[in-house]
Amino acid sequence: MKCYYHNHREAVTQCEDCRQGLCPECAIAETNLCLDCLLNWDKKIKKTAFEKTVNIISFWLIIFISFTFIFQFEEEITTIADLSIIFKLTCLVLFWLKAIPYGWQTINKIRDIWFFKVLEYQRYEKPSNLIIAIGFFLKPILCLIIAPFSLLYEICKIIKNLICIHRIKSNLTKNSSNEAKEINEAKEIRQRNPI
């Protein structure tokens, strides 16, 4: 197999997304992606980061709106301690509500493990009502327990991906001004002479 960007070089790996052959110079070290797929990956990561940022901003907006609603009943709140308790409970409930979808996704990813595997097996046999009831109530409860940790994990994963992309782009700009010209020339040749 030949390199997608350099016809005269042998490919040592394939791009993980498009499966095109890549030579050692074209293979980006940390990701095994070609340049085009790296740029597409960058766009996807930024879009996901934007969506999660909107989620966090909407979370704090809901807190602000709920507190403006609470202050309408100001005479019923007797002390600052009552207000502090209300604020903490509101933040906790809203954080959990924002985290539930991430917890549900995590539960779906691990459902093939232990108990959920038994439930799937029991579904095709004749499951007992007890197993169905436990499975019906266990999944939402596990979701609520796992939800905050899943949300924090997703936020850390996005930050890690953004740092990785930034590092790769800085390495590409430092090392590959000539390689970029060569890649662009190879793209032009490919477009003129498709295989």
Per residue in 7-43, pLDDT (tens digit) is 888 888 888 778 888 887 777 656 677 777 777 776 7
Structure tokens at 150: 């899943």
Q: What is the pLDDT of residue 36?
A: 77
Contact 12, 23 (CB under 8 A): yes
Start-to-end C-alpha separation, the chain: 13
Residue 17 in contact with residue 10, Cβ under 8 Å? no
Q: Which pairs count as long-range contacts for 86-92, CB under 8 Å and 24+ apart, including other chains?
A: 90/63, 90/66, 91/63
For residues 141, 143, 146, 148, the Cα torsion angle rounded to the nearest 10 degrees is -110
Positions in the chain whose pLDDT score sits under 50: none
Dump pLDDT digits (tens) for 36-52. Answer: 777 777 677 777 777 77
Residue extents of the structural domains in the chain? 1-33, 34-176
